[in-house]
Amino acid sequence: MAQRQFDLDDVERLAADALARANAAPHQAAPVARSTRLAERDGIRSHGLMYVPVYAEHLRCGKVLGDAVPEVSRPRPGVVRVDAAHGFAHAGIDAGWPDFVAAVREQGIAALTLHRSYNCGVLGHHAARLAEDGLLGLCFTNAPASIAPTGGKRPVVGTNPFALAVPDGAGGALLVIDQSASAVAKSEIIMRARQGEAIPPDWALDAAGNPTEDPQAALAGSMRPAGGQKGFGAGLMVEIFAAVLAGANLGLDASPFSGPNGGPPGTGQVFIGIDPSGFSGDAFGPAMTRLADSITSQEGTRLPGARRAINRARIEAEGVTVPQDLLDRIAAA
């Protein structure tokens, strides 16, 4: 298969240009292009350039409004609320971020909520952004229903990731926990469906509730929760924060993040920022270092997020290899 090599600047430009051609205004296209760059940088291909044709399709069919202007309000001192206006979540997050970080520093703890929003890319990147500001970041985002409750067949909650990032005291993240309620991200199944590849039988169920290795049958059925009922419980927790608390659509009512069917998904996000110095003072850093060392001192272990950091160093040096068929899809979009 023909391939081309790109550096990360090229990746960001490629994404921004494709979104602009699909009628995304600069304030909408730029943060999504940056998110695409970060996903490719960390080796998360399922959320990188692969998603650009989907974004373009959704701009053209009206699932995402390319000229949307987010509206920011602050109903309480520790609450920043953003109406993403059915634009990309990234633009809404950027619009509310300055007030959000200011509220965290003023109050010690604050939350940023988004409604009438959309897929926000790699959730861990938003948590890490808080860690880079020296803050503890806890983030939630809901998605269209794709996971049935244990014993059931009808999806109720989405893959519903949550992420936690801890500052390292030097402008970075000591660790980033980023995991979904499902056994695997749905985008991984979509990627294999496009490539005509089978999936492991523990990833998903078909519409009849049976394990399947067919990605198309999986997309018509439901995702398996990670850890059985515990995974469904985690997904339900995220749904309560990112949909119910944020005033966004339940996953039950959200249109799919793939394909042109349905209007804007109207999903939501909640980001909670905490200034550790307001709670444990100078004790936070040493305690976190000791906790992290208790993990990394054991042979064969690594902190959550370490694999992405390893990918980052390699890809920043070597660049990104992009299949020509994906470039063709981006050009066609």
**Length of the chain counted residue by residue:** 333
Helix (H) or strand (E) holding 203: none
Helices of type H across 176-320: 186-195, 215-220, 229-239, 284-296, 306-318
Burial class (CB in 10 A: 0-12, 13-18, 19+), 209: middle
d(CA 48, CA 331): 15
Active site residues: 46-47, 188
In the DSSP assignment, the letter for residue 283 is G
Strands of the chain (E only): list them.
3-6, 71-76, 79-83, 109-117, 136-141, 162-167, 173-179, 204-205, 222-223, 267-274, 320-323
Burial class (CB in 10 A: 0-12, 13-18, 19+), 237: middle
Burial class (CB in 10 A: 0-12, 13-18, 19+), 208: exposed
d(CA 131, CA 267): 24
The Cβ of residue 188 has, within 10 Å, a number of other Cβ atoms equal to 18
3-state helix, strand, coil split of the chain in percent (to 5) is 45, 20, 35
